[in-house]
Amino acid sequence: MFDYTIQNSCLKDKTILITGAGDGIGKQAALTYAELGATVILLGRTVEKLENVYDEIVAAGNPEPAIVPLDMKGATKQHYIDMTNTIIDQFGKLDGALLNASVLGELTPFVNIHEQTFDDVMQINVKAQMMMAQALITALQKANKASLVFTTSTVGGKGRAFWATYSMSKFATEGMMELIADEFEGTNLRTNAINPGGTRTAMRATAYPGENPDTLATPKDIMPLYVYLMSDDSAAVNGQILKAQ
Ligand code: NDP
């Protein structure tokens, strides 16, 4: 695992948005950030899942979260601008954004990639992330030290047979992260990407149906890197692709 000792209350007074906060790694990140004192903004497409995470955070006595139900497949640039304005009205600034939500699409030979699947995966994994980041940067610039975190995958740095559009979308994610990091180098905003590595979630089970999930790290196991990149300890880290395991 990424070597970082998590300190109690290290995210106190921070406001952090997490996409895909209803399930998998995003859900765990939301619970962990709230436990460490952050006010979390839970973005996802299934309201019921977001409400469950909200309830869990409140029941644990952690800061009351906000919920943003949004399907990144259909959301327009205006949705992201409106959401950012609401965040600025309510919290005055955004300290961190974990862009975690994505979809796998279909694992298939390259020649069989369906145009519609390509469009859907690229819409959610690339275009929506771009529009969201464009809007959120306005709120991130209002924080003292701000962290924008993208989520990549091993197939985002090295193409692998049958990983199709998902692999291409993660290459684009890494490129987007690097160009934002370079543009904002030396400012209050740092931008990095996490490669979580094989983690016990629904997406992983779909990608590797024959695998025993007990052999995998849990979302909780990989949290040290997720916390590090949101804490002020990583203030000088910019433009990096870091492995959680
Ligand atoms: P999951 O599929 O378990 O969770 C993905 C989350 O994203 C869900 O909460 C889902 O919402 C949300 N989401 C998907 N599509 C949309 C959409 N259109 N609009 C809004 N929210 C959406 O995935 P993981 O937790 O496994 O993955 C998290 C990230 O980590 C992803 O970027 C993935 O590519 C990356 N990753 C994961 C690995 C792993 O082994 N798990 C390995 C390498 C990278 P809902 O629950 O409502 O469907």
pLDDT of residue 53: 98
Identify the helix (H) or strand (E) that includes residue 39. Answer: strand 39-44
pLDDT of residue 7: 97
pLDDT of residue 167: 98
- Please work out whether the CB of residue 20 comes within 6 Å of at least one atom of ligand 1: yes
- Please work out whether the CB of residue 102 comes within 6 Å of at least one atom of ligand 1: yes
- Please work out whether the CB of residue 156 comes within 6 Å of at least one atom of ligand 1: no
Q: Which residues of the chain have pLDDT under 50?
A: none
Q: What is the pLDDT of residues 164-196, one digit of tens each?
A: 999 999 999 999 999 999 999 999 999 999 999
Q: What is the pLDDT of residues 17-28, one digit of tens each?
A: 999 999 999 999
pLDDT of residue 244: 98
b (16+ CB within 10 A) / e for 50-75: beebbeebeeeebbebbbbebebeeb
User: Is 166 an active-site residue?
Assistant: yes
**Cα 110 from Cα 98, distance rounded (Å):** 30
pLDDT of residue 67: 98
**Cα 139 from Cα 91, distance rounded (Å):** 9
CA–centroid distance, 17 to ligand 1, in Å, is 15
pLDDT of residue 162: 98
User: Of 3.40.50.720, 3.10.20.740, 3.30.1300.10, 3.40.50.740, which CATH number belongs to 15-243?
Assistant: 3.40.50.720
Q: Which of 56, 61, 76, 12 is nearest to 227 (CA)?
A: 12
